[in-house]
Amino acid sequence: MLPLSELSDAALAGVKGVFTDIDDTLTTGGKLPAATYSALEALHESGLAVVPITGRPAGWCDHIARMWPVDAVVGENGAFYFYYDGPARKLRQRFLADAATREQNARRLAEVSAKILAEVPGCALASDQFCRIADIAIDFCEDVPPLPRHSVELIVQLMSEAGMTAKVSSIHVNGWFGQYDKLTMTRIFMQERYGIDLNAARGDYVFVGDSPNDAPMFRYFPKSIGVANVGEFAADIAHPPAYVTQGRCGDGFVEVARRLLAARG
């Protein structure tokens, strides 16, 4: 990982949009600082597309798409995208799986979560589980005392044995049925919403993140940036970001935003 200072203003000047993780990338200590929110707003008002790409649930994403200065949000690690259609005054929702599949998967997810809670002492369902549609989130350090590494690995193992995709974030292990990830839905969103083939345009976008479930995005985007706390997961990220900020968490995102805005003049 190179320091962000190695990414030139000339390279940043042509950026057309920013994709960003939320937890420990926009947030700091579980809170969204005013400076980070202001950075999002400044990027949006400058004409850049701004799209959070998160593991957080549908209930949160409804709020984010409606209320935040963003163009859309990809949620539950790629299960859907939401955006607010201002002229129609309507939240548009696009799910990867149809309603019948989501209903069937919900029953299977409940069975797996019960097994994990029984076999991994100290873990818990994430507090936001009640507003999730397509996955389960097992909390290993957000609202519970931090679990040891082997416990996190056991959660991943139990999900995998049940035929699920399992991804570790900075606070949760998320699991779902299906072979998608954050990148899968990001590409679908850009094609369907804007007619943009990201395979041809990936150099026009920045991704900012911090944890193992961001690895597909880090690998895909040449201008991938980790906030400084990404170093805590260095051993667990198969494809680390190309660049890294000096600041941690929200401060790191503000650092990226300032560079982008300065490069745009």
**Is 25 in contact with 227 (CB distance < 8 Å)?**
yes
Helix (H) or strand (E) holding 8: none
- How far is residue 51's CA from residue 61's CA, in Å, rounded to a whole number? 11
Question: Domain 2-96+180-263 maps to which CATH number in 3.40.50.1000, 2.60.40.1180, 3.90.245.10, 1.10.12.10?
Answer: 3.40.50.1000
How is the chain split into domains, by residue range?
2-96+180-263, 99-176
Q: Collect all residues with Cβ–Cβ distance below 8 Å to 151 and sequence separation of at least 6.
A: 120, 121, 122, 123, 140
pLDDT at res. 47: 96
- How far is residue 55's CA from residue 76's CA, in Å, rounded to a whole number? 4
Please list the ranges in the chain whose pLDDT falls under 70.
none
Concatenate the DSSP letters of all residues of 120-161 into one string: STT-EE-TTGGG-SS-EEEESSSSSPPPPHHHHHHHHHHHHH
Percent of the chain exceeding pLDDT 90 equals 94
Q: What fold characterizes domain 99-176?
A: Hypothetical Protein Ta0175; Chain: A, domain 2 (3.90.1070)
pLDDT at res. 29: 94
